[in-house]
Structures are given as structure tokens and as C-alpha cells.
Amino acid sequence: MSNSPFEPRPPLFPWYAPPLAPAPARPAFATLLGTNLSQPERPRVFVSYQHSSDQAYYYQFSKAFHDIYESIYDNSLARQIDSDNPEYVIQRIRDEFITGTSCTIVLIGPTSYQRKYLDWEIKATLDKEHGLIGIQLPHLTANFSGQVTVPIRFAQNVQSGYALWHEISWQQLIANPASLKQYIADACSRPKNKIVNQKEIKKQNG
């Protein structure tokens, strides 16, 4: 089965700097002693990517976002599950990795469409009806027609209107990290009846 290509387009959601908040009044030292200084819990997102070719981009992504306002969890390094049963592995991904997150971000490089684990992680995300975002990495180059190849299950959900794809560019996201919060909110609010998840799971790489 051929993979569905997509033509890159400019971002649809430009980032605007938020207005500056007024400086808070300095509290008395005695007040500080009774203040709860713990930070509010940050939303969790799952990051899916191909390790052999895209690890450097994950490091850059994590550095840009982990300490700002999102807790970025990459559990794919620990996905050595002792089983040859894809359905069982997908269940483990869904129950142990996807559960507790709100959205999956797929960093899409030139070999992402070939990788079975990316397909399984996307399927597990859709099983949980979580948000789904794809980000085209800089080394995913277009063909002579200006098109790129992405994982089929992801492509189907772009076509249905469920997954975010054209709205985001890697350069824009890294330059404006605060924009990720709005993209996640958008992805999580998309109608669940647009989810397409009936495709047979990928049994092997390639």
C-alpha cells in the first residue's frame, strides 16, 4: 500500500507574543514562609519518533519544552517489551505510556513511515482518543512535486481533520515554544468522530 503524501504549507496559526503581566507586589518575608512554593502539575505529552535517525531532534525538542511548561515524556527508549504479539505490545504502550498523557506528538523524519512502533504508538493514541500532532522535521525533504511521505495511519487522520499537521513547522515551534500549548489544546479539542483507526497494524518495519 502506498503512503499518502502531503504538500507542506505555511503555518495556519501564527504565534503572537502574550501581553506582559504587571509585576507582582513583593510579599513580606513572613508571608513567604507560609507560601506553598510548589509548582502546579504540568500537562504530560507523549513524544513518538524514530531513534536511529531522529534522536538529535528529540533532544532539541525536549530542551526547548521540558523546563518551560510541558512535561515531555519519551517512553520509547524503554519500550523493549518481551513479546512478539503486536496487539499485546500496543496494549502495553496504551496502558503504560499513553495513559496519563493528553496528546501525542510525532516527530516525523524520512523513515518514520517505515517504523512499526510509530504506527503502534499512533494507534494507541487514537484508541485513547487523545490529541495527535505531527511535526515535519527539517531533514524530511520534499520530492520534486513538493510532497513528503508520512505514516499511513497518521495520514488518514490528517485527511479526516483529526490530526494537526500543516499548522506547525519545526522552525516556528522551536523559535516560539509558547505556541505548543495552543496546538495541544487545539488537537485535544478536535471531534472524536473524526478519528480513523481501522487500518491493520503494521507488523514489521519497512
Q: Does 108 fall in a domain? A: yes
Q: Does 93 fall in a domain? A: yes
What are the start-end ranges of the H helices in the chain? 29-33, 51-65, 86-92, 116-127, 152-160, 170-175, 179-189
Q: Does 14 fall in a domain? A: no
What CATH number is attached to the domain comprising 176?
3.40.50.450
Q: Please count the helices (runs of H) and the strands (runs of E) in the chain.
A: 7, 6
Look up the pTM and report it. 0.76
Q: Does 126 fall in a domain? A: yes
Number of domains in the chain: 1
Q: Does 57 fall in a domain? A: yes
Domain containing 114: what range?
41-194
pLDDT tens digit sequence for 2-59: 455 555 443 333 333 444 444 444 544 444 444 444 555 667 889 999 988 898 999 8
